[in-house]
Structure 1
Amino acid sequence: MPYVTVATQANQPVDLYYEVQGTGKPVVLIHGWPLSGRAWEKQVPALVDAGFQVITYDRRGFGESSKPWEGYDYDTLAQDLKALMDALDLQDATIIGHSMGGGEVARYLGQYGSERVSKAVLSSAVPPYLFKADDNPDGGMQEEDVKKFLDGVSGDRIAFLNDFTKDFFTPKDGKLLVSKPLRLYNREIAAFASPKATYECVKSFSYTDFREDLKAFDVPTLVIHGDADAIVPIEVSGQRSHDMIADSQLHIVEGGPHGINVTHAKEFNRVLIDFLKA
Structure 2
Amino acid sequence: MSTITTKDGTEIFYKDWGSGQPIVFSHGWPLSADDWDAQMLFFLQKGFRVIAHDRRGHGRSSQTATGHDMDHYADDLAALTAHLDLKNAIHVGHSTGGGEVVHYIARHGDSRVAKACIIAAVPPLMVKTASNPGGLPKDVFDGLQVQVATNRAQFYYDLPAGPFYGFNRPGATALPGVIWNWWRQGMMGSANAHYDGIVAFSQTDFTEDLKKIKVPVLVMHGDDDQIVPYADSGPLSAKLLQNGTLKTYKGFPHGMPTVHADVINADLLAFIKS
User: 82, 88, 94: which one pairs with 2:90?
Assistant: 94
Separation in 1 of the partners of 2:60 and 2:173?
Answer: 27
Separation in 1 of the partners of 2:265 and 2:174?
Answer: 17
Query: Which residue pairs with 1:261 in the alignment?
Result: 257
Separation in 2 of the partners of 1:48 and 1:137?
Answer: 42
**Residue pair 2:5, 2:11 contacting (<8 A) in 1 also:** yes
Separation in 2 of the partners of 1:193 and 1:175?
Answer: 32
Q: Does 1:108 align with 2:93?
A: no
Give 1:171 shift.
6.3
Equivalent position SS for 1:162: helix
After superposition, the Cα gap between the structure-2 partners of 1:70 and 1:79, relative to the gap in structure 1 and judged at 3 Å, is: same
Equivalent position SS for 1:137: coil
Q: Which runs of 5+ in 2 are unaligned?
A: none
Q: Structure 2: which amino acid aligns with 1:213?
A: D
Query: Which residue pairs with 2:4 in the alignment?
Result: 4
Q: TM-score, normalised by structure 1?
A: 0.95
**Residue pair 1:7, 1:15 contacting (<8 A) in 2 also:** no
Q: Does 1:69 align with 2:68?
A: no
**Residue pair 2:55, 2:61 contacting (<8 A) in 1 also:** yes
Separation in 2 of the partners of 1:265 and 1:22?
Answer: 20
Equivalent position SS for 2:50: strand
Q: Which runs of 5+ in 1 are unaligned?
A: none
Between the aligned residues of both structures, percent identity stands at 37
Query: Which residue pairs with 1:56 in the alignment?
Result: 52
**Residue pair 1:26, 1:55 contacting (<8 A) in 2 also:** yes
Give 1:138 shift.
2.4
Query: Which residue pairs with 2:148 in the alignment?
Result: 153
Equivalent position SS for 1:164: helix
The answer to which of 160-169 and 120-129 deviates more is 160-169
* Count of residues in correspondence between the two structures: 273
Give 1:246 shift.
2.5
After superposition, the Cα gap between the structure-2 partners of 1:55 and 1:132, relative to the gap in structure 1 and judged at 3 Å, is: same
User: 42, 54, 61: which one pairs with 1:46?
Assistant: 42
Q: Deviations over 1:44-99 (max 9, x none)?
A: 11111222110011000011111100001101110000000000000000111100
Separation in 2 of the partners of 1:16 and 1:25?
Answer: 22
Separation in 2 of the partners of 1:177 and 1:133?
Answer: 36
User: 139, 143, 154: which one pairs with 1:144?
Assistant: 139
Equivalent position SS for 2:124: coil
After superposition, the Cα gap between the structure-2 partners of 1:146 and 1:268, relative to the gap in structure 1 and judged at 3 Å, is: same
Q: Does 1:25 align with 2:21?
A: yes
Separation in 1 of the partners of 2:68 and 2:170?
Answer: 33
Query: Which residue pairs with 2:10 in the alignment?
Result: 14
CA RMSD across the alignment? 1.3
The answer to which of 95-104 and 43-52 deviates more is 43-52
Q: Deviations over 1:138-192 (max 9, x none)?
A: 22x2121011101111111111111111221116744555411221121111012
**Residue pair 1:230, 1:257 contacting (<8 A) in 2 also:** yes
